[in-house]
Copies of this chain bind each other. A is one copy, B any other.
Amino acid sequence: MGAQQVLTTPQGAMRQNNLARVLRTVRDLGPRSRARIAEETALNKTTVSSLVTELVERRLVTEDDEGTADRAGRVGRPGSDVALDRGAITALGAEINVDYLAVCSVDLSGAVVAERRVGLDTAREQIATVVDCVVDLVEQVVETSRDEGRGILGLTVGVPGLVTMEAGEVVTAPNLGWRGVPIVDLVRTALTETAVTVQADNEANLAALAEYDARRRRVSDLVLLTGDVGVGAGLVIDGRLHRGHFGFGGEVGHMPLEIQGAQCGCGRRGCWETRVGLTALLNGLADLHDDVLDPTLDVEQRLREVVRRAEAGEPRTLAALEQVGTWLGIGTATLVSVLDPGLVVLGGYFSALGPWLLDPMRRELRARTIGHDGAPTEVEVSALGVSAAVRGAAQMSLEAVFDDPTLAPRRRVAASGTPEVAHV
């Protein structure tokens, strides 16, 4: 990978901003000429020409007659169309979760290029083993991209816990049993074959980003609820992820909803997840020796069994689902009273049980939010399901490039004038 340019001058920062403006213009408005970009951005034509040339060198855009050079020796004529280069680079996402690991790569437009997923009882493994498995999957996905001649731009790792983005550290991920794990350093060190920028984020944030991206033209404010043993939310506000001041934004599983409620795993009482977490559901519908309670069995398998019982009309299962749906509505009423998002998306384990959860949830939500009688908040089941977080992770890696195109290394131009692909 080319050495990353250090921007210490205002001029450097300004150029970086302008590169980003041109790249986003091409992404959001479609292929267009240099002249039109200059008009629309109010940057002067010489500046735009130089910016486009740099974006071509960084393999982020193409021009439709890229081969020809104009009189000044610049690639591309002023009248030719500048478009996103979908074939040259990929960005990577990874997800470390309680039951599985996943990795995917996307092209510059966000389309999935390759995807891998393996089951793993993560909490029972050494952290080093988990990291090795993730890196293995990454190398597999990267190989696909290398075979296609693509460069790799960045890797974002999603974790079900609190992550400090600056330090790249998992402060705590209770359901993995992790505390103070420098995940970014560990992954970067283990990635001996591929040198890329690595960052980490909370999986609910990443899933929210993916759901937002999948609906980009419809809602700029959404809450993604994700549930497993723990319950969390990813918040997109005004088109951007909201992480909060200390990074604890969306820790909704621990909203204190009942002063004298049940004991929570966090040591407090009456947290929302004591009512809507997976454990609450399973304890509600099964006796002690029921297989559905066996934590050594795969979660998806156990959820399929819950679905089977619900479809068969088993009364206790239906009652437990009704109860979880009701409490989903009560807690969501609080979220709506604070944020009033345009959309609430049910992800995580909830997404498998939508048909039974949505009705009681919507009923409570309507009854307990003020002023929404005429137009209640929309609730939808995630379309991406368990893929949401890993897709969002790759999307996050892409966003870094759209914020700072200089993260993409320049391709060296050989003496003959033929561009030579830099190995990244």
Contacts and interface: CB of A to CB of B under 8 A. Distances in A.
A18 B40 contact: no
Contacts of A372: 246, 248
A341 B256 contact: no
A369 B43 CA distance: 48
A152 to B, nearest CB: 30
Contact of A371 (B47, B171, B333): B171
A370 B264 CA distance: 11
A246 B338 contact: no
Contact of A370 (B43, B245, B254, B337): B254
A368 B250 contact: no
A242 interface: yes
Contact of A254 (B240, B256, B369): B369
A151 B342 CA distance: 39
Given A244-B221, A338-B339, A40 B250 contact: no
A377 interface: yes
A15 to B, nearest CB: 8
A338 B368 contact: no
A242 B236 CA distance: 12
A185 interface: no
Contacts of A367: 268
Contact of A43 (B42, B249, B330, B375): B42
B257 A257 contact: yes
A33 interface: no
Contacts of A248: 336-337, 340, 369-372
B245 A333 contact: no
A258 B368 CA distance: 11
Interface in A157-196: 162, 171-172
A18 B44 CA distance: 13
A338 B42 contact: no
A238 interface: yes
Interface in A29-44: 40, 42-44
Q: State the 9 A-B residue pairs at the shortest beta-carbon distance, nearest first.
A: A244-B340, A245-B342, A248-B340, A249-B340, A254-B370, A44-B44, A255-B337, A255-B334, A256-B368
Given A171-B371, A335-B338, 7 more contacts: A162-B371, A237-B238, A238-B242, A255-B338, A268-B368, A268-B370, A334-B338
Interface of A: 10, 14, 17-18, 40, 42-44, 47, 162, 171-172, 219, 221, 233, 235, 237-238, 240, 242-252, 254-259, 266, 268, 330, 333-343, 367-372, 375, 377
